[in-house]
A = this chain, B = another copy of it.
């Protein structure tokens, strides 16, 4: 218990007797140290079965599983009975049912591979797990399964692995030594927020402007008032000028913009709720894409930020 008390002191947390519960373990159990939190875990053999108890807080589980649980398993089962390998394939642009359908003719079982579908809005992740006697065989089976998935979903795959879209972009921008500034309307800061979720983003992320009002678009981004008047704040013209404007005032290599109608109100027949224009300017040319989503406000924002970041990612990966 003293070691837990010390940890509370180190973190300037208040010690309360309730926390003392965290220091009581079942008889015969083996304590599993928690390197990042206050509550330790334990391992216990019950009726010949092994029970592991560790906190479910993701940051703690992520450390305690490989550092605490696996070593105990390795000690008890010194000869591994097989090899398991995992491959995540992240897709965007297809619904869950459509992903499932496109893969319906692949016999994953014959390949010795389990397949799982995980919708992480607005993305759909396909997870392949190969289990075989040898690492080489597992690797071979996994590669075969991955090839089958790739052949069917290539247009929608943006990542093989655990990297997030913003982490892929971070890597590309850092490698290519490019800087970026963002001008957002309907996404309300979400694009900037996602880009700055990556540690080290200050190297490439110069600034982000959430120009919600027309006045902000005019005075900060130099979008001409008559363009907004003529085409509307939600238009290809405005999106292009926002991307070009934010790039210019920030002195960055790239400018990325979004303008749309997140909803649930504000839609018209021509521009329904869920309409979004995203644009990317690099000084020599500006590309703009238009989408219409049919979700609620938060999911329209998320999907809009996704297409903006996807446009940026594709631009960066196409660039030599």
Contact = CB atoms under 8 A, between A and B. Distances in A.
Interface stretch (A72-80, A209-217, A237-245, A306-314): A209-217
Contacts of A210: 182, 189, 192, 196, 207-210
A205 B189 CA distance: 12
Contact of A207 (B95, B202, B212): B212
B98 A16 contact: yes
Contacts of A297: 197, 199
Interface in A9-34: 11, 13-14, 16-19
A104 B18 contact: yes
B188 A18 contact: no
A187 B192 CA distance: 9
Interface string A95-136: 101101100100000000000000000000000000000000
Contacts of A159: none
A265 interface: yes
Given A16-B101, A197-B188, A212 B208 contact: yes
A232 interface: no
A250 B195 contact: no
B98 A59 contact: no
Contacts of A212: 196, 201-202, 205-208
A195 to B, nearest CB: 7
Interface in A234-287: 250-251, 262-265
A104 B18 CA distance: 9
For the residues of A in contact with B, the DSSP-based class is: mixed
A194 to B, nearest CB: 8
A39 to B, nearest CB: 9
A189 B199 contact: no
B189 A97 contact: no
A111 to B, nearest CB: 21
Contacts of A301: 193, 196-197
A168 interface: no
A228 to B, nearest CB: 14
26 contacts: A14-B98, A17-B101, A18-B100, A59-B296, A184-B189, A188-B195, A188-B208, A189-B191, A189-B193, A189-B196, A189-B208, A192-B192, A196-B210, A196-B212, A196-B301, A200-B265, A202-B213, A206-B212, A206-B213, A206-B216, A207-B209, A207-B212, A208-B209, A209-B209, A210-B210, A216-B250
In the A-B complex, the 3 residue pairs with the closest CB atoms = A188-B196, A189-B192, A189-B189
Interface of A: 11, 13-14, 16-19, 59, 95, 97-98, 100-101, 104, 182, 184, 187-193, 195-197, 199-202, 205-213, 215-216, 220, 250-251, 262-265, 294, 296-298, 301
Given A188-B197, A188-B201, 12 more contacts: A14-B98, A18-B98, A18-B104, A187-B193, A188-B208, A189-B189, A189-B192, A193-B193, A196-B212, A200-B265, A202-B212, A210-B210
